[in-house]
Structure 1
Amino acid sequence: MIQLHHVWWLAAAVLAAATFFDLRARRWGNALFWGILAAVFAGGDAILVQDAAGNHLPTQLVGVAVVVMALLAGTGGVQRAAPGPDETARREASAQRLGHRLFVPALMIPAVTTVLFLLAPFLVVGAWRLLPAENATVPALALGCCVALLVALYTTRSRPQQALAESSRLLDQLSWAIVLPMLLAALGRVFEHTGVGAAVASLIEMTIPTDSKLACTLAYGLGMIVFTMIMGNAFAAFPVMTAGIGLPLLIRQHGGDPAVIGALGMLTGYCGTLLTPMAANFNIVPAVLLELKDSYGVIRAQAVTAALLACVNILLMYLLAFR
């Protein structure tokens, strides 16, 4: 059975390859950054190991690693590698030769992931199963990426080492912003455990009529947008706003459907992702990669769409959650 730690080991292998390529190119800061992240992924199981006193000692090492990575990123130690003119010309020629076939591997990822997730309960032989019953999504995504890689190698007639080299190039292009979703999701858990959700609930109870379903729905939806804009990620905002408004007011007090509230609440939070520079990997890095003159051009182009989607999501939440 494919477990989560197998996925983490696969990610560690890709990051280790990036470390190797950066060492060979003498990009020492980049190599150290990806090497630390690779070690964290590879040693994920060790983080859960306790000593005789029940202390999670390796967790402290991970904390030190995160601080070192932050220092590397903040001091400019992680730099984006600019492609040479020959490399750019080669890519353009390859893209013209392959045409729309380039989209096939990318589309394979969501297609294979969805099929595997839906078929997970049936991919069982005796006591053996392909995907874990409790969390099939991430292993299914990893398998989808592996299938897409094989299709990409067949389509482009490239060697496997070329895939690792391109992965390293993409990591260097995205730079430190690639770890923001993980860090911000962890920040959401920190806020949840430190009682931010309870503080939000108290503030909401003082400012809105909590006996009104519409007022609570608006507070939850707009709160998801605002917190997402502050934190840069809906995953970080979701535990805070759900603990503060979604669970106590919409679900317990007004009897809302948890599935509808959770799904549409997260979707509403994504509207905030479209509006904030804190979501650097979505809104700032693409502007850099596309060499836009306006670094906030992506956000400006998305603003109207984000506002319309937010209105539709909040309306759907109000209409569907309390049927």
Structure 2
Amino acid sequence: MWLAIRGANDLGNPRRMVLAAFWAILGLLFLIGEQLPALWVGAAVVALALLAGVGLGKGTERVVSAQKQEADAQRFGHRLFAPALVIPLFTLLVALWLKDVEVAGWRLFAEQHSTVVGLGVACLLALGAACWLTRESPATGLESSRKLIDAIGWAALLPLLLATLGSVFAASGVGDSVSHLISAVIPQDNRLAVVLAYALGMAAFTMIMGNAFAAFPVMTAGIGLPLLVQQHGADAASLAAIGMLSGYCGTLMTPMAANFNIVPAALLELKDPHGVIRMQVGTALPLLLCNILLMYFIVFR
């Protein structure tokens, strides 16, 4: 809702009311979506698609001048990345060691949502660290984040939408079809062949869908659980983790992952719209090979 209010007041955006309506509808869905009738939620999703199709526009106001940004970059150097590192480090700390901590009988983090709560706290800590480092106010940080979201636009929702699409595919039986297809093509009793099918399938399906969250339920239901876990005795937790990493290798190599590979090229005004992908292929392929080796040697009991 903050994005909607601030977007409506951004006079530098000629489509500020469209932008405000988009974020307001999305905010309402997050706040009270579970209490709304399914028909209303469906209509809201259609409205989001129509608004995105019209174009949300971009504001032209600068929170910080370009000259000050350049000066800060020269002064702080790589220290500017330190606040961003707070987010994954603190989230990992909560997920591994602090999730069950209690103080006076009260849990610090909710039992079923400890990682999500830890992520939220980590973002606040990162904001505080960034303000301390740059000597800027929290309001500047919030406004800068709004401008970044405006620049990304509707593509910021792609991970959420693609994860939902993956669940729909899994519920519609696509996973079973994948399982039958793979069983007919590869020898099921060959552990290496099944590992290759799962890891390469995660990468390939991610390239098609644009996000590993969409590929994961389909490939895991079709290959991971029936063939690797149930038939070959693989550990489900480690298999899922490495399987997701294999999918992320596909994310690095596809234009379908627009929010990762196409939007940054547009923001950086690169001459080659696929320049980000070309630079990432050299990392993605060796990393995929490492994931295959890890999967083969680690996940089996």
TM-score by length of 1: 0.86
- Residue pair 1:225, 1:272 contacting (<8 A) in 2 also: yes
- Residue pair 2:100, 2:109 contacting (<8 A) in 1 also: no
Matched, 1:69 2:48: yes
Cα RMSD (Å): 2.0
Name the structure 2 match of 1:170: 148
- Residue pair 1:120, 1:133 contacting (<8 A) in 2 also: no
CA distance in 1, matches of 2:262, 2:296: 33
Name the structure 2 match of 1:272: 250
- Identical aligned pairs, as a percentage? 53
Shift of 1:86: 8.1
1:62-141 aligned at under 5 Å gives the runs 62-75=41-54, 77-82=55-60, 87-141=65-119
CA distance in 2, matches of 1:140, 1:234: 22
Distance 1:82 1:288, change over 3 A: farther
CA distance in 1, matches of 2:74, 2:65: 14
Name the structure 1 match of 2:272: 294
Matched, 1:206 2:184: yes
CA distance in 2, matches of 1:109, 1:67: 33
Q: Alignment partner for residue 25 of structure 2, among 20, 36, 39?
A: 36
Q: Alignment partner for residue 199 of structure 2, among 221, 232, 241?
A: 221
Q: Alignment partner for residue 318 of structure 1, among 292, 296, 300?
A: 296
- Residue pair 1:277, 1:296 contacting (<8 A) in 2 also: yes
Q: Residue 51 of structure 2: SS of its match in structure 1? A: helix
Name the structure 1 match of 2:8: 23
CA distance in 2, matches of 1:310, 1:102: 30
One-letter amino acid of the structure 2 residue matched with residue 272 of structure 1: G
Name the structure 1 match of 2:234: 256
Distance 1:159 1:246, change over 3 A: same
Q: Residue 185 of structure 1: SS of its match in structure 2? A: helix
Q: Residue 253 of structure 1: SS of its match in structure 2? A: coil
Distance 1:284 1:65, change over 3 A: same
CA distance in 1, matches of 2:198, 2:100: 37
TM-score by length of 2: 0.92
Shift of 1:144: 0.5
One-letter amino acid of the structure 2 residue matched with residue 136 of structure 1: S
1:221-240 aligned at under 5 Å gives the runs 221-240=199-218
Residue by residue, what CA displacement relative to the aligned partner does 1:120-176 show, whole Å, maximum 9, x if unpaired?
245312441110122311100100001111222222222232222112101101111
CA distance in 2, matches of 1:252, 1:321: 13
Q: Which runs of 5+ in 2 are unaligned?
A: none
One-letter amino acid of the structure 1 residue matched with residue 25 of structure 2: I
Question: Which stretch of structure 1 is more off in the superposition, 181-190 or 28-37?
Answer: 28-37
Matched, 1:145 2:123: yes
One-letter amino acid of the structure 2 residue matched with residue 18 of structure 1: L
CA distance in 2, matches of 1:100, 1:299: 24
Q: Residue 43 of structure 1: SS of its match in structure 2? A: helix
CA distance in 2, matches of 1:264, 1:86: 41
Shift of 1:82: 4.6
CA distance in 2, matches of 1:101, 1:83: 26
Shift of 1:84: 6.0
CA distance in 1, matches of 2:22, 2:99: 39
Q: Which runs of 5+ in 1 are unaligned?
A: 1-15, 50-56
Shift of 1:38: 1.5
